[in-house]
Structure 1
Protein backbone atom coordinates (compact mmCIF):
# COMPACT_ATOMS: atom_id res chain seq x y z
CA UNK A 1 0.00 0.00 0.00
CA UNK A 2 1.33 3.45 -0.90
CA UNK A 3 1.99 5.35 2.32
CA UNK A 4 0.99 8.59 0.57
CA UNK A 5 -2.58 7.30 0.44
CA UNK A 6 -2.71 7.26 4.24
CA UNK A 7 -1.21 10.66 4.97
CA UNK A 8 -2.80 13.68 3.23
CA UNK A 9 -0.70 16.53 1.87
CA UNK A 10 -1.99 19.88 3.08
CA UNK A 11 -3.20 21.72 0.00
CA UNK A 12 -5.54 23.65 2.31
CA UNK A 13 -2.76 26.14 3.06
CA UNK A 14 -2.64 26.98 -0.63
CA UNK A 15 -6.40 27.58 -0.66
CA UNK A 16 -6.38 30.07 2.20
CA UNK A 17 -3.31 31.89 0.93
CA UNK A 18 -4.81 32.34 -2.52
CA UNK A 19 -8.00 33.68 -0.99
CA UNK A 20 -6.14 36.62 0.59
CA UNK A 21 -3.45 37.20 -2.04
CA UNK A 22 -3.47 40.50 -3.90
CA UNK A 23 -0.12 40.00 -5.64
CA UNK A 24 0.47 41.28 -9.15
CA UNK A 25 0.80 37.76 -10.56
CA UNK A 26 -2.05 36.19 -8.57
CA UNK A 27 -3.93 35.20 -11.74
CA UNK A 28 -0.94 33.19 -12.93
CA UNK A 29 -0.74 31.34 -9.62
CA UNK A 30 -4.47 30.65 -9.67
CA UNK A 31 -4.14 29.25 -13.19
CA UNK A 32 -1.37 26.96 -11.95
CA UNK A 33 -3.56 25.84 -9.06
CA UNK A 34 -6.43 25.03 -11.41
CA UNK A 35 -4.14 23.02 -13.68
CA UNK A 36 -2.83 21.15 -10.65
CA UNK A 37 -6.34 20.25 -9.52
CA UNK A 38 -7.09 18.98 -13.04
CA UNK A 39 -4.06 16.69 -12.90
CA UNK A 40 -2.09 18.64 -15.51
CA UNK A 41 1.14 18.64 -13.53
CA UNK A 42 3.64 19.74 -16.21
CA UNK A 43 1.70 22.85 -17.34
CA UNK A 44 1.02 23.65 -13.68
CA UNK A 45 4.73 23.43 -12.86
CA UNK A 46 5.59 25.70 -15.79
CA UNK A 47 3.07 28.26 -14.59
CA UNK A 48 4.26 28.21 -10.99
CA UNK A 49 7.91 28.47 -12.08
CA UNK A 50 7.04 31.60 -14.08
CA UNK A 51 5.29 32.98 -11.02
CA UNK A 52 8.25 32.23 -8.73
CA UNK A 53 10.67 33.84 -11.18
CA UNK A 54 9.09 37.16 -10.16
CA UNK A 55 8.41 36.25 -6.51
CA UNK A 56 11.01 33.66 -5.48
CA UNK A 57 10.19 33.81 -1.74
CA UNK A 58 6.42 33.63 -2.15
CA UNK A 59 5.07 30.99 0.24
CA UNK A 60 1.97 29.95 -1.68
CA UNK A 61 3.85 29.53 -4.95
CA UNK A 62 6.55 27.44 -3.30
CA UNK A 63 3.95 25.37 -1.48
CA UNK A 64 2.13 24.62 -4.75
CA UNK A 65 5.42 23.67 -6.39
CA UNK A 66 6.06 21.20 -3.56
CA UNK A 67 2.69 19.58 -4.15
CA UNK A 68 3.28 19.32 -7.90
CA UNK A 69 6.73 17.78 -7.42
CA UNK A 70 5.21 15.25 -5.02
CA UNK A 71 2.59 14.27 -7.57
CA UNK A 72 5.34 13.86 -10.15
CA UNK A 73 7.22 11.51 -7.82
CA UNK A 74 10.15 13.92 -7.37
CA UNK A 75 10.26 13.30 -3.64
CA UNK A 76 13.76 14.67 -2.95
CA UNK A 77 12.92 17.97 -4.68
CA UNK A 78 9.60 18.20 -2.83
CA UNK A 79 11.33 17.56 0.50
CA UNK A 80 13.71 20.45 -0.19
CA UNK A 81 10.79 22.77 -1.02
CA UNK A 82 8.90 21.98 2.18
CA UNK A 83 12.07 22.03 4.32
CA UNK A 84 12.89 25.54 3.07
CA UNK A 85 9.33 26.64 3.83
CA UNK A 86 9.67 25.46 7.44
CA UNK A 87 12.82 27.55 7.75
CA UNK A 88 11.31 30.69 6.20
CA UNK A 89 7.81 30.31 7.69
CA UNK A 90 8.19 28.26 10.92
CA UNK A 91 4.76 29.40 12.14
CA UNK A 92 3.01 27.37 9.40
CA UNK A 93 2.19 23.76 10.36
CA UNK A 94 1.29 22.45 6.89
CA UNK A 95 4.85 22.27 5.45
CA UNK A 96 5.88 20.20 8.49
CA UNK A 97 2.92 17.87 7.88
CA UNK A 98 3.84 17.44 4.23
CA UNK A 99 7.46 16.73 5.12
CA UNK A 100 6.19 13.97 7.40
CA UNK A 101 4.14 12.50 4.54
CA UNK A 102 7.20 12.39 2.29
CA UNK A 103 9.46 10.95 4.98
CA UNK A 104 6.85 8.30 5.76
CA UNK A 105 6.72 7.33 2.08
CA UNK A 106 10.42 6.51 2.41
CA UNK A 107 9.89 4.64 5.70
CA UNK A 108 11.84 7.34 7.55
CA UNK A 109 9.41 7.25 10.46
CA UNK A 110 11.68 8.99 12.98
CA UNK A 111 11.96 12.03 10.70
CA UNK A 112 8.21 11.90 10.00
CA UNK A 113 7.52 11.82 13.74
CA UNK A 114 9.76 14.84 14.37
CA UNK A 115 8.11 16.84 11.58
CA UNK A 116 4.61 16.10 12.89
CA UNK A 117 5.62 17.05 16.42
CA UNK A 118 6.81 20.40 15.05
CA UNK A 119 3.51 20.86 13.21
CA UNK A 120 1.58 20.23 16.42
CA UNK A 121 3.87 22.46 18.47
CA UNK A 122 3.26 25.25 15.97
CA UNK A 123 -0.50 24.65 15.77
CA UNK A 124 -1.71 22.44 18.67
CA UNK A 125 -5.24 22.14 17.26
CA UNK A 126 -4.11 20.85 13.83
CA UNK A 127 -6.16 17.64 13.76
CA UNK A 128 -4.56 16.19 10.61
CA UNK A 129 -1.10 16.27 12.19
CA UNK A 130 -2.39 14.59 15.36
CA UNK A 131 -3.97 11.78 13.34
CA UNK A 132 -0.90 11.35 11.16
CA UNK A 133 1.29 11.19 14.25
CA UNK A 134 -0.90 8.38 15.58
CA UNK A 135 -0.42 6.51 12.31
CA UNK A 136 3.35 7.00 12.49
CA UNK A 137 3.41 5.60 16.03
CA UNK A 138 1.45 2.59 14.77
CA UNK A 139 3.91 2.05 11.92
CA UNK A 140 6.85 2.26 14.32
CA UNK A 141 5.11 -0.19 16.65
CA UNK A 142 4.65 -2.59 13.74
CA UNK A 143 8.38 -2.50 13.06
CA UNK A 144 9.17 -3.15 16.71
CA UNK A 145 6.77 -6.11 16.86
CA UNK A 146 8.33 -7.52 13.69
CA UNK A 147 11.75 -7.38 15.29
CA UNK A 148 10.42 -8.98 18.46
CA UNK A 149 8.98 -11.89 16.48
CA UNK A 150 12.27 -12.38 14.68
CA UNK A 151 13.84 -12.92 18.10
CA UNK A 152 10.94 -14.95 19.53
CA UNK A 153 8.69 -16.34 16.80
CA UNK A 154 6.50 -18.19 19.30
CA UNK A 155 5.38 -15.12 21.22
CA UNK A 156 1.61 -15.24 20.68
CA UNK A 157 1.00 -11.92 22.43
CA UNK A 158 3.28 -10.12 20.01
CA UNK A 159 1.68 -11.95 17.08
CA UNK A 160 -1.74 -10.69 18.18
CA UNK A 161 -0.51 -7.11 18.55
CA UNK A 162 1.16 -7.18 15.15
CA UNK A 163 -2.00 -8.54 13.55
CA UNK A 164 -4.00 -5.68 15.05
CA UNK A 165 -1.54 -3.10 13.67
CA UNK A 166 -1.58 -4.68 10.21
CA UNK A 167 -5.38 -4.72 10.26
CA UNK A 168 -5.30 -1.00 11.04
CA UNK A 169 -3.24 -0.39 7.91
CA UNK A 170 -5.16 -2.77 5.68
CA UNK A 171 -6.92 -1.48 2.58
CA UNK A 172 -10.42 -1.99 3.95
CA UNK A 173 -12.76 0.77 2.77
CA UNK A 174 -13.52 3.50 5.24
CA UNK A 175 -16.18 6.13 5.43
CA UNK A 176 -15.09 9.38 3.89
CA UNK A 177 -15.69 12.42 6.11
CA UNK A 178 -17.29 15.59 4.87
CA UNK A 179 -15.10 18.62 4.25
CA UNK A 180 -14.04 20.11 7.58
CA UNK A 181 -14.03 23.89 7.82
CA UNK A 182 -12.82 25.96 10.74
CA UNK A 183 -15.32 28.79 11.08
CA UNK A 184 -12.68 30.96 12.70
CA UNK A 185 -10.46 30.72 9.64
CA UNK A 186 -12.62 31.67 6.62
CA UNK A 187 -11.77 29.91 3.42
CA UNK A 188 -9.43 27.45 5.13
CA UNK A 189 -10.80 23.94 4.61
CA UNK A 190 -8.38 21.48 6.16
CA UNK A 191 -9.57 18.68 3.91
CA UNK A 192 -10.75 20.55 0.82
CA UNK A 193 -8.54 20.72 -2.28
CA UNK A 194 -6.14 18.11 -0.92
CA UNK A 195 -4.92 16.05 -3.86
CA UNK A 196 -4.65 12.92 -1.76
CA UNK A 197 -7.69 12.05 0.31
CA UNK A 198 -7.34 10.45 3.73
CA UNK A 199 -10.36 8.41 4.78
CA UNK A 200 -11.15 8.54 8.45
CA UNK A 201 -13.26 6.00 10.21
CA UNK A 202 -16.48 7.59 11.37
CA UNK A 203 -17.17 7.37 15.05
CA UNK A 204 -20.02 5.05 15.97
CA UNK A 205 -23.06 6.95 17.24
CA UNK A 206 -23.63 6.73 20.95
CA UNK A 207 -27.10 5.44 21.69
CA UNK A 208 -28.45 6.21 25.11
CA UNK A 209 -30.08 3.30 26.89
CA UNK A 210 -33.76 3.84 27.75
CA UNK A 211 -34.37 4.78 31.35
CA UNK A 212 -37.53 3.67 33.10
CA UNK A 213 -39.61 6.53 34.38
CA UNK A 214 -39.91 6.72 38.16
CA UNK A 215 -42.72 8.68 39.70
CA UNK A 216 -41.54 11.11 42.34
CA UNK A 217 -43.31 13.69 44.43
CA UNK A 218 -43.09 17.10 42.90
CA UNK A 219 -40.84 19.28 44.99
CA UNK A 220 -41.38 23.02 45.23
CA UNK A 221 -39.46 24.92 42.60
CA UNK A 222 -36.09 26.05 43.85
CA UNK A 223 -35.15 29.67 43.32
CA UNK A 224 -33.18 30.24 40.12
CA UNK A 225 -29.42 30.37 40.66
CA UNK A 226 -27.65 33.65 40.18
CA UNK A 227 -26.27 34.01 36.64
CA UNK A 228 -22.59 33.21 36.22
CA UNK A 229 -20.64 36.14 34.83
CA UNK A 230 -18.02 35.58 32.16
CA UNK A 231 -15.17 37.98 31.59
CA UNK A 232 -14.28 38.89 28.03
CA UNK A 233 -10.86 40.16 27.01
CA UNK A 234 -10.07 41.12 23.43
CA UNK A 235 -6.50 41.47 22.26
CA UNK A 236 -4.48 44.15 23.90
CA UNK A 237 -7.50 46.08 25.08
CA UNK A 238 -10.03 44.77 27.56
CA UNK A 239 -13.68 45.06 26.61
CA UNK A 240 -16.20 46.02 29.24
CA UNK A 241 -16.97 42.92 31.35
CA UNK A 242 -19.44 42.03 34.08
CA UNK A 243 -18.28 42.58 37.63
CA UNK A 244 -16.03 39.82 38.96
CA UNK A 245 -14.69 39.03 42.37
CA UNK A 246 -11.28 40.51 43.16
CA UNK A 247 -9.73 37.04 43.00
CA UNK A 248 -11.26 36.22 39.61
CA UNK A 249 -10.30 39.66 38.32
CA UNK A 250 -6.67 39.01 39.28
CA UNK A 251 -6.67 35.75 37.29
CA UNK A 252 -8.29 37.48 34.31
CA UNK A 253 -5.69 40.23 34.40
CA UNK A 254 -2.92 37.62 34.43
CA UNK A 255 -4.34 36.05 31.26
CA UNK A 256 -4.69 39.49 29.68
CA UNK A 257 -1.09 40.34 30.53
CA UNK A 258 0.06 37.03 29.04
CA UNK A 259 -1.79 37.79 25.77
CA UNK A 260 -0.34 41.32 25.70
CA UNK A 261 3.21 40.02 26.11
CA UNK A 262 2.67 37.54 23.26
CA UNK A 263 1.19 40.24 21.01
CA UNK A 264 4.08 42.59 21.87
CA UNK A 265 6.53 39.75 21.09
CA UNK A 266 8.10 40.42 24.48
CA UNK A 267 9.66 37.02 25.16
CA UNK A 268 10.94 37.81 28.65
CA UNK A 269 7.57 39.06 29.85
CA UNK A 270 5.76 36.19 28.11
CA UNK A 271 7.89 33.48 29.74
CA UNK A 272 7.56 35.17 33.15
CA UNK A 273 3.86 34.18 33.14
CA UNK A 274 4.78 30.49 33.44
CA UNK A 275 5.29 28.81 36.81
CA UNK A 276 8.68 27.19 37.61
CA UNK A 277 6.94 23.78 37.59
CA UNK A 278 5.12 24.41 34.29
CA UNK A 279 4.22 21.11 32.62
CA UNK A 280 5.96 21.44 29.23
CA UNK A 281 4.51 19.61 26.18
CA UNK A 282 5.64 15.99 25.72
CA UNK A 283 7.94 16.17 28.75
CA UNK A 284 10.30 18.56 26.96
CA UNK A 285 12.92 20.29 29.09
CA UNK A 286 12.03 23.80 30.25
CA UNK A 287 15.08 25.22 28.44
CA UNK A 288 14.25 23.56 25.11
CA UNK A 289 10.60 24.62 25.39
CA UNK A 290 11.59 28.23 26.15
CA UNK A 291 13.96 28.32 23.16
CA UNK A 292 11.21 27.03 20.88
CA UNK A 293 8.74 29.59 22.18
CA UNK A 294 11.32 32.37 21.72
CA UNK A 295 11.77 31.39 18.08
CA UNK A 296 8.01 31.17 17.46
CA UNK A 297 7.38 34.57 19.06
CA UNK A 298 10.20 36.54 17.47
CA UNK A 299 10.13 35.05 13.94
CA UNK A 300 6.87 36.58 12.55
CA UNK A 301 6.88 40.26 11.59
CA UNK A 302 3.84 40.82 13.77
CA UNK A 303 1.57 38.85 16.10
CA UNK A 304 -1.88 39.61 17.45
CA UNK A 305 -3.43 37.43 20.15
CA UNK A 306 -7.02 37.89 21.25
CA UNK A 307 -8.64 36.00 24.11
CA UNK A 308 -12.39 36.01 24.67
CA UNK A 309 -15.02 34.32 26.85
CA UNK A 310 -12.72 33.88 29.84
CA UNK A 311 -14.24 31.68 32.55
CA UNK A 312 -12.47 31.19 35.89
CA UNK A 313 -13.13 28.25 38.22
CA UNK A 314 -11.24 28.03 41.52
CA UNK A 315 -10.11 24.63 42.81
CA UNK A 316 -8.95 26.21 46.05
CA UNK A 317 -7.57 29.54 47.16
CA UNK A 318 -4.33 29.16 45.20
CA UNK A 319 -5.36 27.09 42.16
CA UNK A 320 -7.70 28.01 39.29
CA UNK A 321 -8.81 26.55 35.98
CA UNK A 322 -9.24 29.15 33.24
CA UNK A 323 -11.05 28.46 29.94
CA UNK A 324 -11.22 30.87 27.02
CA UNK A 325 -11.21 31.22 23.23
CA UNK A 326 -7.86 32.16 21.69
CA UNK A 327 -7.56 33.91 18.33
CA UNK A 328 -3.98 33.97 17.03
CA UNK A 329 -2.97 35.96 13.98
CA UNK A 330 0.59 36.29 12.61
CA UNK A 331 2.14 37.41 9.33
CA UNK A 332 0.88 34.48 7.23
CA UNK A 333 -1.12 32.38 9.63
CA UNK A 334 -4.34 32.49 11.65
CA UNK A 335 -5.71 30.03 14.17
CA UNK A 336 -8.63 30.01 16.55
CA UNK A 337 -9.56 27.50 19.24
CA UNK A 338 -10.36 26.82 22.84
CA UNK A 339 -7.70 26.77 25.51
CA UNK A 340 -7.61 25.69 29.13
CA UNK A 341 -4.99 26.87 31.60
CA UNK A 342 -4.29 25.54 35.07
CA UNK A 343 -2.99 28.45 37.10
CA UNK A 344 -1.35 28.67 40.51
CA UNK A 345 -0.94 31.66 42.79
CA UNK A 346 2.68 32.49 43.59
CA UNK A 347 2.96 35.43 45.95
CA UNK A 348 0.76 38.11 44.43
CA UNK A 349 0.92 36.67 40.91
CA UNK A 350 -1.09 34.03 39.06
CA UNK A 351 1.18 31.83 36.93
CA UNK A 352 0.49 29.20 34.27
CA UNK A 353 1.13 25.67 35.48
CA UNK A 354 -0.32 23.79 32.50
CA UNK A 355 -1.84 24.57 29.07
CA UNK A 356 -4.31 22.46 27.12
CA UNK A 357 -5.81 23.09 23.70
CA UNK A 358 -9.49 22.16 23.41
Structure 2
Protein backbone atom coordinates (compact mmCIF):
# COMPACT_ATOMS: atom_id res chain seq x y z
CA UNK A 1 0.00 0.00 0.00
CA UNK A 2 2.94 2.33 0.67
CA UNK A 3 4.46 1.97 -2.81
CA UNK A 4 1.45 3.35 -4.75
CA UNK A 5 1.23 6.47 -2.57
CA UNK A 6 4.69 7.93 -3.42
CA UNK A 7 4.32 7.17 -7.14
CA UNK A 8 1.44 9.66 -7.67
CA UNK A 9 3.40 12.36 -5.81
CA UNK A 10 6.41 11.89 -8.07
CA UNK A 11 4.36 11.96 -11.29
CA UNK A 12 2.86 15.48 -10.90
CA UNK A 13 6.20 17.03 -9.98
CA UNK A 14 7.92 16.33 -13.38
CA UNK A 15 4.80 17.41 -15.26
CA UNK A 16 4.90 20.94 -13.80
CA UNK A 17 8.45 21.76 -14.96
CA UNK A 18 7.63 20.33 -18.39
CA UNK A 19 4.79 22.84 -18.74
CA UNK A 20 7.01 25.70 -17.61
CA UNK A 21 9.72 24.75 -20.10
CA UNK A 22 7.18 24.39 -22.92
CA UNK A 23 5.64 27.80 -22.15
CA UNK A 24 8.98 29.65 -22.27
CA UNK A 25 9.89 28.79 -25.91
CA UNK A 26 6.36 29.54 -27.09
CA UNK A 27 6.56 33.05 -25.64
CA UNK A 28 9.96 33.89 -27.18
CA UNK A 29 9.03 33.57 -30.90
CA UNK A 30 6.02 35.87 -30.41
CA UNK A 31 8.23 38.87 -29.53
CA UNK A 32 10.22 39.06 -32.82
CA UNK A 33 7.02 38.67 -34.86
CA UNK A 34 5.50 41.67 -33.07
CA UNK A 35 8.60 43.77 -33.87
CA UNK A 36 8.20 43.22 -37.64
CA UNK A 37 4.53 44.25 -37.84
CA UNK A 38 5.05 47.89 -38.95
CA UNK A 39 6.79 46.87 -42.20
CA UNK A 40 4.05 44.48 -43.46
CA UNK A 41 1.36 47.18 -43.04
CA UNK A 42 2.08 48.40 -46.59
CA UNK A 43 2.03 44.79 -47.84
CA UNK A 44 -1.30 44.28 -46.07
CA UNK A 45 -2.69 47.42 -47.73
CA UNK A 46 -1.55 46.14 -51.14
CA UNK A 47 -3.26 42.82 -50.49
CA UNK A 48 -6.42 44.66 -49.41
CA UNK A 49 -6.39 46.71 -52.63
CA UNK A 50 -5.81 43.58 -54.73
CA UNK A 51 -8.72 41.89 -52.95
CA UNK A 52 -10.93 44.96 -53.56
CA UNK A 53 -10.07 44.98 -57.29
CA UNK A 54 -10.80 41.26 -57.62
CA UNK A 55 -14.05 41.59 -55.65
CA UNK A 56 -15.10 44.42 -58.00
CA UNK A 57 -14.32 42.30 -61.09
CA UNK A 58 -16.16 39.28 -59.67
CA UNK A 59 -19.24 41.35 -58.80
CA UNK A 60 -19.23 42.78 -62.34
CA UNK A 61 -18.91 39.31 -63.84
CA UNK A 62 -21.77 37.96 -61.68
CA UNK A 63 -23.89 41.04 -62.47
CA UNK A 64 -24.11 41.67 -58.72
CA UNK A 65 -25.04 45.33 -59.00
CA UNK A 66 -25.05 46.10 -55.24
CA UNK A 67 -21.58 44.53 -54.91
CA UNK A 68 -20.31 46.18 -58.09
CA UNK A 69 -21.54 49.66 -57.18
CA UNK A 70 -20.29 49.27 -53.58
CA UNK A 71 -16.75 49.17 -55.02
CA UNK A 72 -17.14 52.82 -56.04
CA UNK A 73 -16.79 55.79 -53.74
CA UNK A 74 -19.69 58.19 -53.28
CA UNK A 75 -17.14 60.72 -54.59
CA UNK A 76 -16.41 58.74 -57.78
CA UNK A 77 -15.90 60.94 -60.83
CA UNK A 78 -17.36 59.32 -64.00
CA UNK A 79 -14.89 59.54 -66.91
CA UNK A 80 -17.42 61.18 -69.24
CA UNK A 81 -18.54 63.65 -66.61
CA UNK A 82 -22.18 63.81 -65.56
CA UNK A 83 -23.76 62.82 -62.29
CA UNK A 84 -22.89 59.76 -60.27
CA UNK A 85 -26.54 58.65 -60.21
CA UNK A 86 -26.80 58.84 -64.02
CA UNK A 87 -23.54 56.88 -64.33
CA UNK A 88 -24.84 54.20 -61.94
CA UNK A 89 -28.07 53.84 -63.92
CA UNK A 90 -26.14 53.60 -67.21
CA UNK A 91 -23.89 50.89 -65.69
CA UNK A 92 -26.93 49.01 -64.37
CA UNK A 93 -28.52 48.96 -67.87
CA UNK A 94 -25.26 47.87 -69.55
CA UNK A 95 -24.49 45.10 -67.04
CA UNK A 96 -27.83 43.57 -66.06
CA UNK A 97 -28.94 43.14 -69.69
CA UNK A 98 -25.96 40.97 -70.66
CA UNK A 99 -26.42 37.20 -70.90
CA UNK A 100 -22.90 36.39 -69.71
CA UNK A 101 -19.95 38.55 -68.73
CA UNK A 102 -16.34 37.52 -68.26
CA UNK A 103 -13.98 39.94 -66.51
CA UNK A 104 -10.39 38.92 -65.85
CA UNK A 105 -7.81 41.08 -64.12
CA UNK A 106 -4.26 40.29 -65.27
CA UNK A 107 -0.83 41.62 -64.27
CA UNK A 108 -2.24 43.63 -61.36
CA UNK A 109 0.24 46.15 -59.97
CA UNK A 110 -0.65 48.19 -56.89
CA UNK A 111 1.07 51.23 -55.42
CA UNK A 112 0.05 52.76 -52.10
CA UNK A 113 0.46 56.34 -50.94
CA UNK A 114 -1.16 56.78 -47.53
CA UNK A 115 -4.91 56.38 -47.91
CA UNK A 116 -4.69 56.45 -51.73
CA UNK A 117 -3.83 53.56 -54.02
CA UNK A 118 -3.36 53.07 -57.73
CA UNK A 119 -4.17 49.69 -59.28
CA UNK A 120 -2.95 49.13 -62.85
CA UNK A 121 -3.78 45.98 -64.81
CA UNK A 122 -4.82 44.47 -68.10
CA UNK A 123 -8.54 43.83 -68.18
CA UNK A 124 -9.94 41.06 -70.32
CA UNK A 125 -13.66 41.59 -70.91
CA UNK A 126 -16.07 39.43 -72.88
CA UNK A 127 -19.83 39.81 -73.26
CA UNK A 128 -21.64 38.29 -76.20
CA UNK A 129 -19.58 38.87 -79.35
CA UNK A 130 -17.56 41.70 -77.75
CA UNK A 131 -14.13 40.67 -76.48
CA UNK A 132 -11.60 43.29 -75.44
CA UNK A 133 -8.32 43.52 -73.61
CA UNK A 134 -7.45 46.97 -72.31
CA UNK A 135 -5.15 48.62 -69.83
CA UNK A 136 -7.07 49.93 -66.86
CA UNK A 137 -6.12 52.14 -63.95
CA UNK A 138 -8.22 52.46 -60.81
CA UNK A 139 -7.40 55.26 -58.40
CA UNK A 140 -8.71 54.18 -55.03
CA UNK A 141 -9.08 55.70 -51.57
CA UNK A 142 -9.45 54.07 -48.19
CA UNK A 143 -12.89 55.06 -46.90
CA UNK A 144 -14.20 53.72 -43.59
CA UNK A 145 -11.89 50.71 -43.79
CA UNK A 146 -12.68 49.83 -47.43
CA UNK A 147 -10.78 50.64 -50.62
CA UNK A 148 -13.19 52.43 -52.99
CA UNK A 149 -12.74 53.47 -56.62
CA UNK A 150 -12.44 57.25 -57.04
CA UNK A 151 -11.44 57.37 -60.70
CA UNK A 152 -11.29 54.80 -63.49
CA UNK A 153 -9.34 55.22 -66.72
CA UNK A 154 -8.84 52.96 -69.72
CA UNK A 155 -5.83 52.87 -72.03
CA UNK A 156 -2.51 54.57 -71.57
In the superposition, the TM-score normalised over structure 2's length comes to 0.71
Equivalent of 1:321 in 118, 123, 128: 118
Equivalent of 2:50 in 233, 252, 259: 252
Confirm or deny that 1:340 pairs with 2:137.
yes
Who is 1:58 aligned against?
A: none
Across the two proteins, how many residue pairs are aligned to each other? 114
Confirm or deny that 1:353 pairs with 2:145.
no
* Paired residues for 1:157-236 under 5 Å: none
CA RMSD, 1 decimal: 1.1
* Paired residues for 1:102-117 under 5 Å: none
Who is 1:272 aligned against?
A: 70
* Paired residues for 1:234-245 under 5 Å: 245=43
Who is 2:11 aligned against?
A: none
Who is 2:8 aligned against?
A: none
Uncovered stretches (5+) of structure 2, i.e. residues with no partner: 1-41
The one-character-per-residue Cα deviations of 1:247-279 (angstroms, maximum 9, x if unpaired) are 100000000000000000011110010001101
Q: Relative contact order, CA 8 A, sep 6+: which one is greater? A: 2
Q: CA deviation at 1:312?
A: 0.7
Q: CA deviation at 1:281?
A: 2.1
CA contact 2:61–2:102 (8 Å) conserved in 1: yes
Q: CA deviation at 1:282?
A: 2.2
Q: CA deviation at 1:328?
A: 0.2
In the superposition, the TM-score normalised over structure 1's length comes to 0.31
Query: CA separation in 1, counterparts of 2:67 and 2:112?
Result: 25
The one-character-per-residue Cα deviations of 1:29-72 (angstroms, maximum 9, x if unpaired) are xxxxxxxxxxxxxxxxxxxxxxxxxxxxxxxxxxxxxxxxxxxx
Secondary structure at the aligned position of 1:281 is classed as coil
Secondary structure at the aligned position of 2:80 is classed as helix
User: Larger radius of gyration, structure 1 or 2?
Assistant: 2
Equivalent of 2:80 in 282, 290, 310: 282
- 4+ runs deviating over 4 angstroms: none
Query: CA separation in 2, counterparts of 1:246 and 1:302?
Result: 33
Q: CA deviation at 1:323?
A: 0.3
Structure number having the greater strand percentage: 2
Query: CA separation in 1, counterparts of 2:138 and 2:80?
Result: 16
The one-character-per-residue Cα deviations of 1:209-229 (angstroms, maximum 9, x if unpaired) are xxxxxxxxxxxxxxxxxxxxx
Who is 1:171 aligned against?
A: none
Who is 1:312 aligned against?
A: 110
Secondary structure at the aligned position of 1:250 is classed as helix
Secondary structure at the aligned position of 2:53 is classed as helix
Who is 1:293 aligned against?
A: 91
Q: CA deviation at 1:300?
A: 1.2
Query: CA separation in 1, counterparts of 2:89 and 2:151?
Result: 18
Query: CA separation in 1, counterparts of 2:81 and 2:106?
Result: 29
Secondary structure at the aligned position of 1:282 is classed as coil
